[in-house]
Every structure is written in C-alpha cells, then in structure tokens.
Amino acid sequence: MFHSSRKKTEPLFGLDISDQSLKIVQLKRHSDKVKMQAFGKYNLKDNVIIKGELKNSEALTTAIKELMSRPIFGSINTNNVVACLPENQSFIKLISIENSPNQTADLIMTEIEKFFPFAIDKLYFDYQVINKHRDSVDVLVSASPKYLVDG
C-alpha cells in the first residue's frame, strides 16, 4: 500500500503528467473560499514519456523544475504533490468481500490479483471501505504498477 505522511494542513500542488505535457495547479483557502494560487503548463519534448511510460527521467525532472519555478500564473510554495498517473495504467475496482475475522487488508491482498493484471508484489495499492453489509463489505481498490509510480 502507499500512504503519505503529509499533514492535512500542509499545502500541496497538483501535477498532471501526460505523454505531451505537464500541467500544474496550486489552490489556497482564503476565508471560506478557495482561490487559485498558481497554474502552469509545460510542453514536453518527444520521447520523454511514451504511452504513459517514462523514457527520459532527466528531461522530465528538468521540465518539472522549470514548470514549478515559472508557472504561467502565481507561484508554487510547496514540494508536496498530488500527481495524476496515466489512466490506461491505473486501475480502480469496486470489489465485494465476505465478512471474515481476518483483516480487510489481508482479504484484499488475496483478492487483488483476480482483478488487476499484475502480481501483488508489482503493485502499489490502497483501498477504502465503501459499504458494510451483514455478510460482506464493498471496498474500492485503486492500484498502479510500481514501475510506473517509481518512475
């Protein structure tokens, strides 16, 4: 599983990484309103990312640093990021597991390989219990391949 150690009060920015571009946004709360603090876009060179797979990490690192230092509007004041991963390589599934004395996480690990096209040791995953029924639990599971996330 993958969890952040970030405190909920710490600022963060959003980063969308696609084959062709990077997009960045940071919001801030001002009284009872949310306002845009910064946004930007950076067009990537060819062959940095191909079909969602990182091919040139040095070029991507340079592009992210450039975008963070010079967004179109405002300024980024944190290194805490929420990043979007390629949709075609990220998996979300609502599964139902029978109630059991075993821990939910253990049951999910047993079930996850039935629903995702990777071995459990090749995935980062997280889950949220959505509904509890008398005989079962509905669980939303999200998973991405480690090679993609680590890249």
The 3-state secondary structure of 39-106 reads EEEEECCCCCEECCEECCHHHHHHHHHHHHHCCCEECCCCCCEEEECCHHHCEEEEEEEECCCCCHHH
Strand partners, 82: 14
Residue 36 · residue 25 · CB < 8 Å: yes
Q: What is the pLDDT of residues 101-151, one digit of tens each?
A: 777 777 888 788 787 778 888 988 888 889 989 888 898 988 888 888 887
Count other Cβ atoms within 10 Å, centred on residue 115: 14
- Region 72-82 average pLDDT: 92
Q: How much is the pTM?
A: 0.65
Q: What is the reported pLDDT for 8?
A: 59
Q: What is the pLDDT of residues 20-53, one digit of tens each?
A: 999 999 998 888 888 999 999 999 999 998 887 8
